[in-house]
């Protein structure tokens, strides 16, 4: 199964990147067997799946050919802009046909249930499915502890406003951190303080002092594939955070929004290390399927559950979306798509690392150590004027995001950087974009 998925992902990536162009004949079955050192049944299954996904078509007695996609070709010709700014998933990787099937299946399976408002906590069938699904991330929870919400952002807003049993009111956030949440905290005038996190990690002694003396209600953190740094906590950091939460009765809200695109098996969440129910685990499905699906899940300690539920209204979350997601996970389509999109994003991150090594021979840009997810930090020399740099890159049709917006307005310990996203770029664009960034940073450094 692993070999099959690996070959399927690689061939699909080659088609997307133009290695196999529209109308080109793919290697024969026997040639592909030798190329990938696999069995006849494996490569036959790969080609059948590519045909099912409308990526290739077959001609009897001739072979398999890449589907001509004129719309994509026109868009590539017209739009030469390199988008390192967008955080949205690649629309070309979305499983439209698969999910359409799941929507139809959900309507047939749950037709009467879909005409009700449903349970505020979420469909019981989906929550039961999520029990085994979350266990893959070492998050072992009962269905009664899981709440399905209209996106992880909604769960985060509820947690921010609801009272916690430790009686504290201040929210501690990493700096830098998720920009939309920071703006929400400031707009709602929520008591908040920051703690520096760099590509090297977090100062655990400073974190302990804040847990001990800061009146912290909860600590908001992204344990893996951090936005905007792209990095993940080391094992000792995750274990230490869980222990500090227990020691000082501070809750941790772990936003594992990249759970399906992050490190392979062996990455245990902070939740997995805590034994005193001080961790709230959040998961989003927007990055792996469709942003418009607006579905997330929160795993809550029992002492937070009743209060959290009181903030939810009937009909807050689409029953049809929940039912379709339940079908999508149970029939194995979710796992297949997850493997596909994860491997393709990992390939782009690899291209990004190689492009930096190729073009930045003087080490002017310091990049975070990232091998998965979609983000990477490009840390810049202090002499670089960020605003001028972004203007010049925009003039060269390279779109990037400044690191400034990922800090609280009054946080002073800031690094100067660009957040680079690879979710909407191919290998050629990555190479050209990195080359332009390096050239403009060198120009800025000489001014």
Q: Cβ(85)–Cβ(390) under 8 Å? A: no
Same domain, 344 and 276: no
The number of distinct structural domains making up the chain is: 3
Q: Which residue has the higher pLDDT, 138 or 276?
A: 276
Helices 2-16, 333-359: axis angle to 10 degrees equals: 60
Same domain, 287 and 146: yes
User: Tens digits of per-residue pLDDT, 395-442?
Assistant: 999 999 999 999 999 999 999 999 999 998 988 999 999 999 999 999
Q: Is the per-residue pLDDT at 36 higher than 50?
A: yes
Same domain, 360 and 314: no
Same domain, 256 and 396: no
| pTM (2 d.p.) | 0.82
Same domain, 320 and 392: no
**Structure tokens that stand for 356 in this block:** 């930096």
Bridge partners, residue 146, by sequence: 299
Looking at residue 61, its pLDDT comes to 63
Q: Which residue has the higher pLDDT, 247 or 62?
A: 247
Which element (helix H / strand E) includes 3?
A: helix 2-16
**Structure tokens that stand for 103 in this block:** 């929507």
**Structure tokens that stand for 130 in this block:** 């999520």
Which element (helix H / strand E) includes 49?
A: helix 40-52
Q: Is the per-residue pLDDT at 377 higher than 80?
A: yes
Same domain, 51 and 191: no
Same domain, 101 and 208: yes
Same domain, 134 and 195: yes
Q: Quick one: average pLDDT of 377-401?
A: 95
* C-alpha closest to that of 6 among 392, 363, 340: 340
**Domain membership of residue 212 as a residue range:** 96-333
Same domain, 291 and 174: yes
Q: Domain ends where: 287, 305, 333? A: 333
Grouping H, G, I as helix, E, B as strand and the rest as coil, residue 158 is helix
Buried b / exposed e along 58-92 (16+ C-beta atoms within 10 A) = eeeeeebbbeeeeeeeeeeeeeeebbbbebebbee
Which element (helix H / strand E) includes 420?
A: strand 417-421
User: Tens digits of per-residue pLDDT, 325-353?
Assistant: 999 999 888 888 888 888 888 999 999 99
CATH of residue 50's domain is: 1.10.10.10
Same domain, 235 and 162: yes
- Say which residues have a Cβ less than 8 Å from residue 201's Cβ, sequence separation at least 6: 231, 233, 234, 237
| Terminal alpha carbon distance of the chain | 55
Q: Domain ends where: 305, 333, 361? A: 333
Q: Is it true that the peptide bond before 176 is cis, omega within 30 degrees of 0? A: yes
Rounded distance between C-alpha atoms, residue 447 and residue 445, angstroms? 6
User: Tens digits of per-residue pLDDT, 289-313?
Assistant: 666 678 899 999 999 999 999 998 7
Same domain, 45 and 130: no
Same domain, 131 and 260: yes
């Amino acid at each position: 199964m692993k070999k099959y998925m690996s070959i399927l992902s690689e061939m699909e990536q080659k088609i997307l990147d133009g290695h196999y162009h529209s109308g080109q004949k793919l290697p024969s079955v026997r040639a592909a067997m030798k190329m990938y050192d696999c069995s006849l049944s494996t490569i036959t299954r790969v080609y059948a799946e590519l045909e099912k996904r409308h990526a290739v078509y077959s001609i009897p007695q001739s072979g398999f050919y890449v589907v001509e996609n004129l719309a994509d070709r026109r868009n590539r010709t017209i739009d030469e802009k390199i988008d390192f700014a967008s955080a949205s998933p690649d629309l070309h990787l979305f499983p439209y046909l698969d999910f359409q099937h799941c929507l139809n299946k959900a309507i047939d399976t749950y037709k009467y249930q879909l005409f009700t408002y449903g349970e505020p906590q979420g469909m019981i069938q989906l929550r039961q499915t999520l029990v085994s699904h979350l266990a893959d991330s070492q998050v072992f929870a009962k269905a009664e502890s899981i709440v399905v919400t209209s996106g992880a952002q909604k769960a985060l807003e509820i947690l921010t406003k609801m009272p916690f049993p430790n009686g504290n009111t201040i929210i501690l956030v990493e700096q830098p951190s998720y920009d939309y949440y920071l703006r929400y905290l400031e707009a709602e005038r929520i008591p908040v303080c920051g703690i520096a996190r760099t590509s090297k990690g977090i100062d655990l002694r400073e974190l302990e002092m804040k847990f001990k003396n800061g009146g912290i209600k909860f600590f908001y953190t992204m344990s893996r594939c951090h936005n905007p740094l792209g990095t993940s906590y080391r094992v000792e950091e995750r274990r230490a955070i869980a222990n500090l939460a227990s020691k000082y009765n501070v809750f941790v809200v772990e936003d594992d929004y990249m759970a399906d695109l992050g490190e392979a098996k062996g990455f245990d969440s902070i939740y997995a290390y805590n034994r005193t129910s001080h961790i709230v685990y959040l998961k989003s499905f927007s990055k792996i399927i469709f942003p418009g699906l607006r579905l997330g899940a929160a795993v809550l300690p029992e002492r937070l559950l009743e209060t959290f539920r009181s903030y939810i209204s009937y009909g807050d979350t689409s029953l049809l979306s929940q039912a379709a997601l339940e079908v999508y996970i149970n029939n194995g389509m979710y796992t297949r798509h997850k493997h596909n999109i994860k491997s393709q994003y990992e390939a782009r991150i690899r291209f990004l690392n190689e492009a930096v090594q190729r073009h930045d021979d003087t080490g002017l840009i310091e990049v975070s150590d990232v091998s998965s997810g979609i983000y990477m930090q490009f840390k810049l020399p202090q002499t670089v004027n960020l605003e001028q740099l972004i203007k010049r890159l925009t003039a060269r049709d390279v779109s990037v995001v400044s690191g400034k917006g990922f800090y609280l307005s009054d946080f002073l310990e800031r690094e100067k950087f660009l957040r680079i996203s690879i979710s909407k770029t191919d290998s050629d664009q990555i190479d050209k974009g990195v080359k332009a960034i390096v050239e403009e940073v060198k120009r800025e450094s000489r001014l």
